[in-house]
Amino acid sequence: MTGPSSRTLRLLALLQTRPDWTGPQLADRLETSERTVRRDVDRLRGLGYRITAVRGPHGGYRLEPGSALPPLLFDDEQAVALAVALRTAVGTGMEEAAALALATVRQVLPPRLRRRVDAVQVAAVPRGPRPAPVDTGVLLTLAAAVRDRYELRFDYRPDQRPDHAFDHRRERGDTRRRTEPHHLATWNDRWYLVAWDLDRGDWRIFRVDRIAPRTPAGPRFTPRDLPGGDVTAFVQARFRGAAGDPDWPCRGEAVLLASADAVAPYIGDGRVEPLGPGRCRVSLGSWSWTALAASFARFDADVEAADPPELARAFARLATRFAAL
């Protein structure tokens, strides 16, 4: 593809990369005149793209969203990135929709690019048991409530057991909730809604696959300040059993009779410090002292020292329990 058609597609690609472009900027990038840029913009408008023009010394062009989805243009790297993202959509609860989207994208790719995309065969392995699928309609309803800041009422189906041994936020009983939704988040391949529970007067984290929205929605609300102000840190703290600090509530260290190189592959989010041949200091965190002591057993090494005293006492308790076997 050469001449005006090729140049017009290059113009479309530029307009998709950022909100605003001036005429001189586009002319410079396309190595043409501003008059030609104006003609190419008119050509794109004729194809259904909504491009607004702002006059004046700081004016330019902007590609606006339309009522229908016009053809999109991706360069090679963007197309491969999109295919990889769709192919690795494991744990999102939308694997089937992602596979259909990938098939749609692949169908319209040119043969050269399709071969490149097909070469990227990725085995996306979930972290744990495959989560329940998420209803896209529910997800969009929650996202709209978060964006528009209106109260959300829903029926909630609680689990009979927590997602994690340290999840102390599970609840049973009345499943009808009135909330102020604040954020959507993912944790361990599951979708969650972070919201202020109006009846309980506290922050709660709800699994999206257990939410059944009720209609109509409630009134708009003024957003509260999320503790700490960082949704990632807040979710980490709650699932680690801490009230506000995203770090583990129990953290300690032990000297192991093993080399740092032997320990490092299994350290997780801990830290290891070499202390010489066959010795290292390992720092780990967990939701309880007993769980923390047990986590050191995965290194299959003798423990020379432990700190703080709570961790040392937890080692002693575990030793007594296991010795009783």
Domain presence at residue 255: yes
Query: In the numeric block, which tokens belong to residue 146?
Result: 């978060």
Whether 305 and 270 map to the same domain: the answer is yes
Last residue of a domain, one of 219, 239, 259: 239
Domain count, the chain: 4
- In this structure, what are the phi and psi dihedrals at residue 80, rounded to the nearest 5 degrees? -65, -40
Check the CA dihedral 87-92-96-101 and report its sign. Answer: negative
Question: Are 154 and 229 found together in one domain?
Answer: yes
At 192, give phi and psi (nearest 5°).
-135, 150
Same domain, 235 and 141: yes
Q: Which tens digit of pLDDT belongs to each residue from 94-151?
A: 677 777 777 777 776 778 777 877 877 776 666 656 666 778 888 889 999 999 999 9
Question: Would you state the pLDDT for residue 59?
Answer: 67
Please check whether residue 250 is in contact with residue 285, taking contact to mean a CB–CB distance below 8 angstroms.
yes
- Locate tokens 């770090």: which residue? 247
Residues 153 and 114 in one domain: no
Over 70: is that where the pLDDT of 90 sits?
no
**What global pTM score does this model have?**
0.55
Do residues 191 and 134 lie in contact, with contact meaning Cβ atoms separated by under 8 Å? yes
For residue 200, is it within any domain? yes
d(C-alpha 266, C-alpha 258), whole Å: 12
Q: In degrees, to the nearest 5, what angle opens at C-alpha 237 toward C-alphas 233 and 239?
A: 120
Same domain, 141 and 229: yes
Give the largest CA-CA distance in the chain.
Answer: 87
Q: Which is more confidently placed, 180 or 229?
A: 180
Residues 91, 183 share a domain:
no
Nearest to 43, CA basis, from 80, 3, 79:
3
Residues 141 and 227 in one domain: yes
Q: Is residue 131 part of a domain?
A: no
Cα–Cα distance measured from residue 234 to residue 171, given in angstroms and rounded to the nearest whole number: 19
pLDDT, one tens digit per residue, over 232-284 is: 888 877 776 655 555 677 889 999 999 998 888 888 778 999 998 899 999 99
At 243 the pLDDT is 56
> Among 194, 274, 196, 202, which Cα is nearest to 234's?
194
Specify if 165 maps to a domain.
Answer: yes
Question: Does any domain span residue 244?
Answer: no
Assess if residue 13 is contained within a domain.
Answer: yes
112 and 143, same structural domain?
Answer: no
Distance CA 320, CA 325 (A): 9
User: What are the DSSP calls for 235-278, one per residue?
Assistant: HHHHHTT-SS-SS-SEEEEEEESS-HHHHGGG-TT-EEEEEETT
Structure-model confidence comparison of residues 243 and 222, the more confident one: 222
Q: What is the rounded average pLDDT for all residues in the chain?
A: 80
Confidence (pLDDT) at 67: 43
Last residue of a domain, one of 202, 220, 239: 239
- Residue 69 forms part of a structural domain: no
113 and 143 together in one domain: no
Q: Which of 85, 100, 75, 62 shows the shortest CA–CA distance to 13? A: 75
- Report residue 43 as tokens: 């050509």
Q: CA-to-CA distance for 131 and 189, rounded, in angstroms?
A: 7
- Percentage of the chain surpassing pLDDT 70? 80
How many angstroms separate the CA atoms of 286 and 311, rounded? 11
Sign of CA dihedral 91, 95, 99, 100: negative
The total of other beta-carbon atoms located within 10 Å of residue 16's CB is 14
80 and 32 within one domain: no
288-309 confidence digits (pLDDT tens): 899 999 989 889 899 988 999 9
What is the three-class DSSP state of 199? coil
Confidence tier at 166 by pLDDT (50, 70, 90): very low
Residues 49-80: pLDDT tens digits?
888 887 766 568 888 876 455 566 666 777 77
Residue 221: domain span? 136-239
Residue 174 in domain: yes
Give the CATH number for residue 265: 3.30.70.1150
